[in-house]
Amino acid sequence: MSNGANYRESEDCVVVYADNYINDIEGEKLEDMCDALLKKGYRKLVVDFSETDIINSIGVSILIGVIEKIKEKDCALSFSGLKKVNHNIFDVIGITRHVSVYPTEDEALGAQGAAPGPASPSPGTTVKA
Amino acid sequence: MRDNPVFSPGPGFYGRYRETEYVYARATSTVRDEPNIVLMGSRWVGKTELLLKVHEMLFRAQSAVAPVYYRFKGYGDALDLAEDFIKELIKQVVAFSRRDAGIGRMESSLDRLERLIMDGHSPDVGWLVKRYREARKSGDRVAALRNAMMAPHHLTNHTGLRVYLLLDDIHLAGSVRLYPDGPSVTGELVGALNSGAVSFAASAPPRRLPPGWTTDGRVEALTLGGLDRETSLSMMGELMRGYGLGFDTEVLEFAAVKLGRVPMYMKNLVWAARKSSQGLEDLKDFAGLYAREVTTGGLAFVFSSALTLGTTTELRVARFVARAGSSSIEEIEEAVLPGGGGLAAALDGLSRNGLVASNLGSVTWTGDGPTADFVEYLYRTRIEGATTEEAVSAIVDECLREGYRTRDDSTGASFTDQVLRALRAFDGQEVPEELLRGEYAPAGAGAAGPRPDASRTLELPELTGCFDSRRFERGEAGPPVFIARGFRKGRYDSSGEVVWLVMVKDSASPVNAGDVDNFTRRALSLARNLGSPGVVRVMTSRSGFTGEAMKKAEGLFAVDREGVTALEGILSAPAGPAPGHPAPGPGQEYEVVLPSSERAELVAARAAEEIASAMGFSEDAMGEIKAALVEACINAFEHGGLTGSRVRVKFVSRKGTLEIRVRNPGARFAGKTTTSASGGVSGELPRKRGWGIELMKSLMDDVRFERLGEGTETVLVKHLDGKEDTRDE
């Protein structure tokens, strides 16, 4: 993995840390990272947005592509640490209907570890359909 | 039995365990011919308290040695001194014998004392009074004085009770004359004390022992400085806690150092803190309190009572020597008294005050830091005509500079870290330009050479980023250079862009001419690469600048550690609108011109954050404004046509509403949303593109698109109250 994005392995899950600003370039980095991790055999991914202030519409479109790929491979994806404005953006676009969102990375990992796939939501989160 | 001590060191006697035990052991020792003790220490360091503590211990803890505490003061003549001494001796010996402290504290005439000691319960000391009276009656002042000074010896011989004298401020005896216009009593006094017949511990300031008295084998000098670190902290912390005042240990530690760890000063400061209900939780708390104390507060009162700075010449000389630390007579004459006289008299006066010591043509400051600040205050207000507020403010500034420097030294923070910290605090403030012109010297410091105009100010940029120059100049030798980019305050367009190139020499050697050449060359190259219209070049140095370097530094700013520390102090001050530059507020307009470059939209987002924050928008609302603005900018670039075109962003804030106009000069666009909803069929993923306008509309209170002659203007509106609040509920 040498595309510059950060990630952390936790048992059979992996957490990818998103950049401060998700635009076309950073979105593609994130996409490449997820591709590489899927190829490596991981089936449970968490993307943590704790450090992300702004996600622009191009970044969103790339994230939708990532969700699409993970769905095709029947793997699990969840998001954590979304700031309120980014959560609103994902709500408006409808992403939160497809991806579990957790307040923290640990909660996302806990949910992934307990049962791959859709997990029980924490208060204030949305679960994919 | 009442066993309260005759005198007490008072509540809050701290530390000095080693010294008190040492003096106590000497007082109670039965070994013959052990040397007596003289405690040497500057004024207010705690000599009196120590003597009183030993007195208390001797009074309470044993019965073989009668302690007699005697404080020298001003007397009419030798007879007054002799009578006063005899009275104290008798009172305290009787008090000790009867274990009745009240006797020691009472004010009594000799007649009354005579009646008191004839009750059969006191040692036989009546003959002392009788002998003194005889000498006085005959007018033999020398005999009266000798009788008094040798009385403890005779008393021991007569009664078998040993006496230990605790003689405070013995140097004051030097001003007592045997008779009008006659010699001082010190000859007789020293003769008696050096005879070996009397045991004592005396106190005096350094270099103020009575003439003829040397600390040879018969007298041992014990130097008393400030308290040790732990005791100082413990003392101040305990007092602060006792008064329910908050404090930070680091601040307390600096306070103790600044106050020379002198107990009286430290207690005074805590009392002042209590009086004003002021904690010591940061350096500013302490600096303000300290400055008030040494200028108009309790310490200033103490100083003005104890010091006599009778003439302006004395004040000028004191101030000069205090700042210099040590100076030659010639330097003082040249700086303070050009063509004038009176230096010898001034030095004599200052020496009597314990402020200076002269030796072989050199004059050294012997006062302490707080006294030097008091002198500085007097100088500024009396000689320079400054107001009290101005003088206090100067002392606060200096105290803060010293505090920050101490903090950096103690935390091991490098000079480089300090410079970076100052740079990152740049936010459009105005600072005195003199801070960035050569080696910084506080106003009035008497620095050599012409001083820059202290009234000129320099506007710092609103920083957008700070990074080092390595990736722009591979393989370059020389001190590191940092690049700080930003905008001139409120001018978020290309003409407002500014770059500060800051060289940092964090080394024990000063910046030399070679460093200046190196930086000048590199700055030229960097300025070219960065392509910024405004470049400011600054050299910073931990160890100052050589004279050659300063000559070569034409057009460059130069800041030494003092200057950086001062800058930090100013930048850390509570934010307020700079004169002539009101903070963004209602009814104001700002414009940013964005070049077509990667992440340019973030510059607009940062400007929006700044303005929205000043207007009082919440964090969440600011996040929405920034996200919407980023979309508008991307849209504008997308429709802007030719590569290299610029997008103008105008911010208008008025009456709780922020309006942002994003203008693209290229093709018009309709501003229609692609669809009204996300993915069509339930369960399908949303479409990937075309979300920009919908997002803007969801994030802002109003979004509209206005056609221009060429291009389109996107108008984003957010209200301080209303939609953004109600929507969240």
Closest by CA to B239, choosing from B270, B216, B207, is B270
Q: A57 and B626 in contact by Cβ < 8 A? A: no
Question: What pLDDT does residue B441 have?
Answer: 42
- CB B687, CB B586: distance < 8 Å: no
Q: What percent of chain B has pLDDT over 70?
A: 84
Where helices occur in B160-248 by DSSP H, the ranges are 186-194, 229-242
Question: What pLDDT does residue B11 have?
Answer: 57
Q: pLDDT, tens digit, for every residue of A74-87?
A: 999 999 999 999 99
Closest by CA to B232, choosing from B258, B210, B205, is B258
The amino acid at residue A81 is G
Neighbour-count burial of B709, counting CB atoms closer than 10 A to its CB (0-12 exposed, 13-18 middle, 19+ buried): exposed
Q: pLDDT, tens digit, for every residue of B525-561?
A: 888 877 766 889 999 988 788 878 888 888 889 998 8
Q: pLDDT, tens digit, for every residue of B625-673?
A: 999 999 998 888 877 654 556 788 888 887 788 999 988 766 555 555 5
- CB B488, CB B590: distance < 8 Å: no
Q: Which phi and psi (to 5°) does residue B339 adopt? A: 80, -5
From chain A, the residues in CB contact with B687 under 8 A are 64
Q: pLDDT, tens digit, for every residue of A33-55?
A: 999 999 988 899 999 999 999 99
The amino acid at residue B502 is V
**Farthest-apart Cα atoms in chain B, separation:** 127
- Both tokens assigned to A68: 């699409």
- CB B157, CB B127: distance < 8 Å: no
Q: A92 and B695 in contact by Cβ < 8 A? A: yes
Q: How far apart are CA B642 and CA B667, in angstroms?
A: 10
Q: How many residues does chain A have?
A: 129
Q: Which of A25, A89, A95 sits opposite B627 (nearest CB)?
A: A89
Using pLDDT thresholds of 50, 70 and 90, give the confidence band for residue B700: very high
Closest by CA to B156, choosing from B36, B64, B235, is B64
Query: Chain B: nearest CA to A11, how far in angstroms?
Result: 29
Single pTM value for the model: 0.49
Using pLDDT thresholds of 50, 70 and 90, give the confidence band for residue B51: very high
Closest by CA to B592, choosing from B696, B486, B500, B720, is B486
Which run of H or of E encompasses B661? strand B657-664
Q: What is the DSSP string of B595-628?
A: -SSTTHHHHHHHHHHHHHHHHT--HHHHHHHHHH
Q: How far apart are CA A105 and CA A15, in angstroms?
A: 8
Question: CA of B587: how far to CAs of B427, B504, B582, B612, B703, in Å?
Answer: 21, 41, 12, 13, 20
The amino acid at residue A50 is S
Three-state secondary-structure class, residue B492: strand
Q: Which of A56, A64, A129 sits opposite B631 (nearest CB)?
A: A56
Question: What pLDDT does residue B671 have?
Answer: 53
Q: B685 and A98 in contact by Cβ < 8 A? A: yes
Q: A64 and B685 in contact by Cβ < 8 A? A: yes
The amino acid at residue B506 is D
Pick from B601, B688, B728 the residue to mutate for testing the A interface (most A CBs within 10 Å): B688
- Both tokens assigned to B386: 């400054």
A57 touches chain B (CB under 8 A): yes
What is the b/e burial string over A78-97, where b = at least 16 CB atoms within 10 angstroms of the residue's CB? Answer: bbbbbbebbbbbbbbbbbbb
Give one word for A87, left, alpha or beta, with left for phi > 0 and alpha for psi -120 to 50.
alpha
Q: How far apart are CA B22 and CA B34, in angstroms?
A: 12
Closest by CA to B460, choosing from B429, B418, B432, B495, is B429
